[in-house]
Amino acid sequence: MAGAGISTPSGIPDFRSPGSGLYSNLEQYNIPYPEAIFELGYFFVNPKPFFTLAKELYPGNYRPNFAHYFLRLLHDKGLLLRLYTQNIDGLERVAGIPPDRLVEAHGTFATATCTVCQRNFPGEDFRGDVMGDRIPRCPVCTGVVKPDIVFFGEQLPQRFLLHLTDFPMADLLFVIGTSLELDAKDK
């Protein structure tokens, strides 16, 4: 199980560290409170702050570090049953861990869904919009296209339920870069 702490050496801030964490540095987005940037209700009212942040976090802006490559080494040696990650940065994929070995518990930028017609798209289709400071729109219905990142108020991906079969089969569980603490909203 991996959390934001494994990506901080790559330059990606974690969420809760005082002063350097993502929640401590959201003033620039002009949002009412830090968690609003990942709240579905707020996104429907004002998606611009999320997409401004997404431009910074979008895969391709950062490189994997030794922790990501250690997990890849476990895979290469046939020792990785599955990697459960809370990260949305995609660095596990970039490091070479195959998607079938990943459970991206908080979602991914690799795919996106129209918030109106529910059409699915490769996330890369909208990278240009995000990097160009434009809100991605569905080419069919013009609804906002949201990367498949899990926001507060959304369910975890179905793949997360693999833990029911994976955990009893595991000989060892590494917990890296996460406290596994819940936010008040998650309790």
Q: pLDDT for 160-169, tens place per residue?
A: 998 889 999 9
Give 79's DSSP letter.
Answer: -
Most confident among 27-41, 51-65, 133-147, 149-163 (mean pLDDT): 133-147
Residue 182 has pLDDT above 70, yes or no: no
Is the pTM here over 0.75, yes or no? yes
Q: What sections of the chain are H helices per DSSP? A: 40-45, 48-57, 66-76, 91-94, 127-131, 163-169
Rounded to an integer, what distance in angstroms lies between the CA atom of residue 40 and that of residue 46? 10
Q: Output phi, psi for 150, to 5 deg.
A: -80, 115
Structure tokens at 115: 């918030």
7: nearest Cα among 26, 25, 20, 18: 20
Residue 14 has pLDDT above 60, yes or no: yes
The whole-chain average pLDDT of the chain stands at 89
- Residue 104, pLDDT score: 95
Rounded to an integer, what distance in angstroms lies between the CA atom of residue 49 and that of residue 111? 20
The arithmetic mean of pLDDT across residues 88-112, rounded, is 94
Rounded to an integer, what distance in angstroms lies between the CA atom of residue 111 and that of residue 122? 5
**Cα of 169 vs its chain's centroid, Å:** 26
**Catalytic site residue from 68, 75, 106, 163:** 106
- Percent over 70 (pLDDT), the chain: 89
Instruction: Pick the more confident residue, 78 or 182.
Output: 78
- Residue 186, pLDDT score: 46
- Residue 58, pLDDT score: 83
Rounded to an integer, what distance in angstroms lies between the CA atom of residue 37 and that of residue 41? 10
Please report, in angstroms and rounded to a whole number, the separation of the first and last CA atoms in the chain: 20
Look up 106 and say whether it is catalytic: yes
Give 15's DSSP letter.
Answer: S
- 71 close to 92: Cβ distance less than 8 angstroms: yes
Q: Nearest 5°: CA angle at 128, between 104 and 114?
A: 55
Instruction: Pick the more confident residue, 164 or 13.
Output: 164
Handedness of CA 19, 5, 69, 98 (dihedral sign): negative
